[in-house]
Structures are given as C-alpha cells and as structure tokens.
Structure 1
Amino acid sequence: MSTAHTPLIAVTMGDGAGVGPEVIVGALLDESVTARCRPIVLGDVARLRRAAEVTGSRVEVVAVDSVAESVFAFGRINVIDPGLLPPDLPWGEVSPVAGDAAYQYVRLASELALRGEVRGICTAPLNKEALHAAGHLYPGHTELLAQLTGTEEVSMMLSTPKVKVVHVTTHIGLIDAVERIEPGLVERTVLRGYRAIRGSGVSAPRIGVCGINPHAGENGLFGYREEEGKIVPAVEKLRSDGVDVHGPLPADTAFFLASRGDYDLIVAMYHDQGHAPVKLLGIEAGVNVTVGLPVIRTSVDHGTAFDIAGTGKADVDSMIEALNQAAELSAAV
C-alpha cells in the first residue's frame, strides 16, 4: 500500500532511560502503523539502535536532518537526532540529561508542527522527576505543548475503541473543579472534542454531556442546581448552533449509552468521572489525546517503566494505538 498521502507524524522519544525507545522501535515495525502514517522520530539514533538490540528487532535506524530528507520504507526508522544523550546513559535511572533531551525532542516536534511540516505529534513517556531536574518545571506533556505552541486552553480526550471522552476539568480537586465549571468552558470543551471527532471522519458527531451531581441533579433534588447554571446554557447554545449535543446526562448511564453506540463522544465534568469508566471499558487500548493544540497530540497510556527499561519486555500495544489514532485524528488540525 502506498503511504505517499498518509499524514506525517512526529514521534518524540521521551526519556531515553525509560521504555520509550523500545516501544517506538516495536510500534514502527507494526504494519498497521506504517500503512496509516509516515513517522519521523525526534530522538537519539544510538539509543534507538540499542533498543532494537534488546528487543531483537531487525530495523534500520537512519539519522536525517529534516522531514524532507526522510525516506519511508518498512523496516526503516527516520530520526532527527540533536545529539543530546551520552552513549553510556544507564537504563532505568533518573537523569537530568535525559530529562533535558526529552524536553528538547518535544520542542523540536512543536516547531515542526507550527511550520506545518507534520500533521500530528505522538509522544513516548517522559519522566517528570528528570524533566524537573533539568530545570523544565512542567506537570507534563500537555502543559509543555500548550506553552510551546502558544495555546491558552486545551482539553484532554481519552480515546478507546468503545468510547471517547473529553474532560472539562482534569488535574484539580473536586471542589475546585465544580467551582471552575461554567457555561463558556463547557461550550469550548465540547467544541474542541466535536472538531476532533469530525476530523476523524464522523461527519455529525453525537455528543453526550454528563451532569455534575448524581442523576444530573434530578431537577434540583441533588446539589444546588449546578446543572441548570453551569451546563444547560452551554448545551442550549451548542444546539442552536447545530451541534448534536444532549445533556446534562446522569454520568452513571452516559458511558453505558456511549459503549453501545448512542454517542460518539462523552463530555465529563471532572477527572475521575471520565477516567474511571474509560479505564474499565478499554484501558488496554486507551490513548491520551490533547485537543485544542494547532496539531493533534496523542500519547501512550503508561509511564517510563524504569523497572523494565532496557530488558525488551515493554508492551508496544499502547504506542501502536497512539500512532494509529494520531493518524486518524490528525485531519482535525
């Protein structure tokens, strides 16, 4: 199958002391990935070659200076290598050098995206302790990419084969989350998810919006009518603009309805409301998607796994799924 018109995806290697190099090598030898996108790795050539050795993979790792120089063929990995890692970097240990390199790979990928040279970014895991030790004080990839691309507001979308969910709030306490939710934020979050789903090929997405309280407040029986003040105005505005959106829905049934196909996207109000059912319904193939950036970004659903780094035992399924979904969603950019 010709890949000449498949999207170009920048793949950041993450922390070189972790499993990122191994899962990248394994995923880029999967035919479903190479049929759907053209990946360019931002990383370290020597480290990726070591990863190929420990995983027993037959692959050609080639240094290139630019996206334009890349040649796409099965069994070949194109790498833009800024030369940041020492050859004797140990596996499985926190290193400021590796933390800085992980930051630089993301920075370079962001520059490629802003210049329009790639359509998506897929990130292997970085280590937050190493990142901070290198002086890059970000909670993670999402906040880092938002700053690098000059994006004021982004949303987290978790995507599985059964259900996709976008979050109005994420890593804040529950009381703070309820306080932060307001109609404008709900509307913007729905629209970010709506555009991402449309970009994946669903022409008229059906969207279910969760309530905040049990039973979505049940007409004021639970809570202090947060649904009426914080969610209903956004739903009404979106529907008047032609978006097929429904809610507020009781969260305990919304995900069941989505899993049987009633909705293409569920909008969760806070972290655990969205994460718990998604992990139950499809954690083995779950992918973290950042929507709202000028480029689609997907990520594996695991960390650097220092305990098994360099052993060849890392599971590549999440990276395969992340790359495939980056290819699928990148048309939304």
Structure 2
Amino acid sequence: MTAQNTRLNVSAAAASLSVALTLVGLKLWALGATGALTIAASLADSAIDLMMSLAGLAAILYAARPPDEDHGFGHSSAEDLAALGQALFLIVAAGVIGAAGIGRLMSHTPPPLDAEREGITVMVISILLTVALLVWQRYVTRRTGSRVVSADSLHYLSDLIPNVGAILSLWASAHFGLTSIDSAVAVATAGLLVVGAFGIGRGAWDALMDREADPEIVSNIAALAETWPGLNGFHDLRTRSSGHRLFVNIHVEIDGRLPLTEAHDIGAGLRHAILRAYPQADVIIHHDPVRDPGALRPQAQAPAP
C-alpha cells in the first residue's frame, strides 16, 4: 500500500469513527425521548459502526505494515478479517432488530411513541452527516480499493434507510397515531442489513480462501500477455486478492537464444504494463526459454520497462 493510499484509508476510518461517535450520542438521546424502535434499530447500527470503525482503523494500520520475515506477502489479509467480522456483527444486529420488530407487530398493545418532532430532527442530522461521510468513503474506495472502507461505507449506506424510515414512522405517529409503521420499517431494515452483510462476507471469505481474482481482471492480464512483443506465449496465470492487494503470478515463454538482459527486459516490460493497469498489484513473472526456433513467433521490439 502506498503512503498516499494509507493516508486516505486512515482519513476515511477516522471520519467514520467521528461520525459514529456523534450519531450514537444523538440517537441515545432520541431513543430515550421517543421510544421508537426504528431509532433503536438505527442506534444499534450506529453502535456497531462505532465498534467496526475502531476495528477497521486498526486493520488498515496493521495492513499498511510492510512485509517481514513472518509475512512475506504483507499484512493485507487483516482487511479481509475485519470485513468478515463486520459482516458477522451486522447479521447478529439484524436478527435482534428483526425479532424486536416482529414482536411489536404481533403485540395487541404496541408501545406509544413520544417527542416525535425531536426524534425527526435527530434523524435529519444523522442523514446529513451520513451522506457527507459516504461521499468521502466512496472517493477513498475508488482511489485505494480498500475492502474495509468499502464495507464501512455499506454500513453507513444501510443507515440511510432506517433513518428515513424513522422519520416516516415518527411523522405517522405524530399525525395519525400509527405506531405499527415503526415496527414494519425496522423489520424491513433488518432484512436489508442481512443482504448487505452476506455481500461483504462473501467477498472477504473469497479473499481469505485465495479465490481467483475477478474474471475481467484475469482476462485483461491474459490479453496483455497474449499480445506483448517478444513473448512466444504464456501459461500458469494465477491470481488472488488480499485486502486491497492483487497478486499475479505468470509464466512467460521467451526465445531461449536471446541474451539474458534482453529476455529480462521483455518480462519487465510486461510486469510494468500490468502494474500500470493495476497499481495495487504484486506481480511475479517467471521466464521460460523456448528452445525450438520453429515454434517461435516473429519477434518485435518490446517497449522499455
């Protein structure tokens, strides 16, 4: 991870932590004032955001450490572990919120809501803070590809739905006395949280299990190798992802009669081309000599690495 990407990821994690602290305080007060289950759902999600923001910041800082004797490929898997933990916490929270919502819907005398106007004000402030944070997180994710920041962004995106739902339910309670809308919105929010959590968890699990990189990435790298000047072919293209990192191993076939320096420059040129396309990649190229002159493709001048 470059120093600039590390700074961007840390800034996103620090902003997330600050927003989470603010929202937890506001929603605790609003829950005490209104008793609304949608605010409770939003508070639970913000509390999880706070815990996961702390874990995410620690994971980003740890993942930024350079390779050492015990971790030759770096520490980027810490990001996947943190993202998997976030997914598990989201699923548990969704279960609690959904169960509470169903319980209220089945109750013959659901509890009334109070101080609706104050609750609506808190939710509007929450939405504004969340949107501002999402804009920054999405920018950082596009620049760095951090899976931790992406997962954290999904948490806050999911916050928007219960916040809007809380506003609608408080408005309906204040004007029409409809308290059941609060519970229905909470149950729907729980379902969306589960869907989002499974998406985060699947991506993190695939990375931890060394699943092949995205097929489009593999296809693009293969296309580069297929047309690269000086290569007679390639084989054993293997990829995997870890956190924000992409690892690429490829064997290239080069005329065995070429001087070592020239053969090296051909492979180095391909490596730099892959790095230009995927700056977060770690590329290892193995040179295989082709000894049958009749099997060689016409040679072309390879670009300088």
Higher strand share: 1
- TM-score with structure 1 setting the length: 0.24
- TM-score with structure 2 setting the length: 0.26
Which is higher, the Rg of structure 1 or of structure 2?
A: 2
